[in-house]
A and B are shown apart, each in its own frame.
Chain A
Amino acid sequence: MSAFLDISYITKTYGAKSGPVTVVREFNLRVNRGEFIALIGHSGCGKSTVLSMVAGLQAPTTGAIILDGKEVTDAGPDRGVVFQSPCLLPWRTAYENVALGVDQVFFTSSRADRRAIVEYYLSVVGLADSMHKRPAELSQGMRQRVGIARAFALSPKMLLLDEPFGMLDSLTRFELQGVLLDLWQRDRTTALMVTHDVDEALFLADRVVMMTNGPEAGVGEILEVDFPRPRDRGTLLEDPHFYELRENLIGFLNERSHRKPVAGPPPSLVAAGYA
């Protein structure tokens, strides 16, 4: 069986002033349907670059990305993107921001149905009372909730999240991780999420993909996170296995991340059992 998302040998080179810079080199990853992948790595190693190539917002310099049997050539609503900053349109209310995509994707549905979709997702993320406020009137956390609702409301094939909680305080972050996990639990959309928060990665993901440091970053190691779902933060924090995995991740980020990926079969293939 071929993977749902197959990122194979992608390299991204930017033409900078001081000569071309290869940010990501021969990045390989296979993701199965319904998996939640966390992509972790040091700041500036190229996580956002990988994500935006999967989103189709940038093209890889070489290599290919195949999603559900089709090569990714352009952005599209089948991939819901939650950006690092929520980047809501400030002249539209929360409702209108979500409705923009819903009206575009479900244009065949009736007006009432589309309205119901928008209202449903906004209530699920806890914004039932502030639907008709503009982004300027919402807090950071509320804006990111709108961003999440906007992505889920399109019922995408795949979710792409770029440090969605990076700008939030830790209390809000915990809360929104819960919201995200609840939403994801409903239909198990395949998800790829960039983060540099170790606990977040372990709490949410099925596998954590660790990237080596840039330039020429690639996949370093892959960690299986086999806690049963639905997960509960309290139980997780009491599990000694959680701390083992955590040690492993932190060890990679502190010591092993600067190593270049070894030659030979790409580690992602090894980890996924293909080689």
Chain B
Amino acid sequence: MSIHGLIYKGIDQVKGPLVIMRGVPGAAYEEVVRIYSEDGREWFGQVLEAGRDKIVIQVLGDTEGLDSNVMVRFTGTTLKIPVSDEMLGRVFNGAGEPIDGGPKIRADDIRDINGAPINPAKRDYPDEFIETGLSAIDGMLSLVRGQKLPIFSEAGLPHNEVAAQVARQAVVPGKAERFSIVFAAIGLKYDDVLYFRRQFEEFGALSRSILFLNLANDPVIERITTPRVALTAAEYLAFDLGMDVLVIITDMTNYCEALRELSSAREEVPSRKGYPGYMYSDLASIYERAGRIIGRPGSITFMPILTMPGGDLTHPIPDLTGYITEGQIFLDLDLHNRGIYPPINVLPSLSRLMKDGIGPGKTREDHKEVSDQLYAAYSQGTKARELVQIVGEAGLSPREKLYLEFARRFEREFVAQGFRERRSIEETLEIAWDILSILPEAELTRISEKTISKYHPKRRAAARVE
């Protein structure tokens, strides 16, 4: 006996976003249901618990007006959306329905929004450098095609600008084609959405973008579907149509909060700070959809944005994210307050895939060593700066003073740059050498003698004199 396509009248109980029905055998786990009220209103829901005696449906959207007289139709399928290249240039809501007044999408295929895990043996290792034109990223946190690299930010910091600048400037050297953009807003203010829209428009990317919008006043529950819908579209563009797709999703913090809300409505045992114990796996099912696949030309490069509650890196949202993503770009309030744009603090930042994306033939042979040395020296510099707070600059040793100066120049000349400034990787490395050259050569222990003799400005100047 199958009830699919069958319609039931009457439900037993509504409890927050959950609807409980009894005596409805044969409902499938995660099956989509549609609920209609007598006055013609409609809801959308999903089976959360499928029992012979009792089923629990989670309703997407506001449950106001939902009473025991509603009709429930079981659709016999899990949550799916139509995908096609017609989606490019269009705007959708968090459930994947067009909201730009344009026509419906003619589906090339219908896909489950949860996707399926990529077989690890079929992944292609991401190792192609993406030049973003931002020195802090290219020089110290190189992004590669198919990487998932989030921006960890705080309210009030220019994460939108950094993401927009990356979207505008990113190219894979030697590849003519630009990135297609899949942008998803989760619980965002309209202003923020407008900002991205205008940016994409300005640099002519709208026609190669798909926008999925769940605004602050849209149903909380759709925050759960928004990133999945967006990634389903991205997977289609990347792995069926062979495009290089840059996915920007903001703000993942709103996603996690929606997940927490849902979990508490289900009365689940919470883990840290009220977030569910399965949040790690849930986030992984989103973030791990980035990547490259053997034998397929496209890729998904994923730059989610999240705001750290209270700027706390150990908060469950950034913490679990950092455990899954391939590094993080950390925006720093202190740098921002000192007028540094982009306010990227490279020390807590990381790109795990950098090692195979840089070096001879990709960027430059000295890149790795230079970056290592910059990290080591900048960390000495920040240590010296902390000391200044306590003992004053006069209390520093000459070596500490030198590192203090290094940190200052590193922030002002290397990290800081204009919103419209695009630096090539050569320019980035030149600036790096310039600042490194204020240190004695014996301090450059992360750089080999060979590299120093070839690239150190003083050595090159000496060579010119000869």
Do A and B interact with each other, yes or no?
no
Contacts from A to B (Cβ < 8 Å): none
Contacts from B to A (Cβ < 8 Å): none
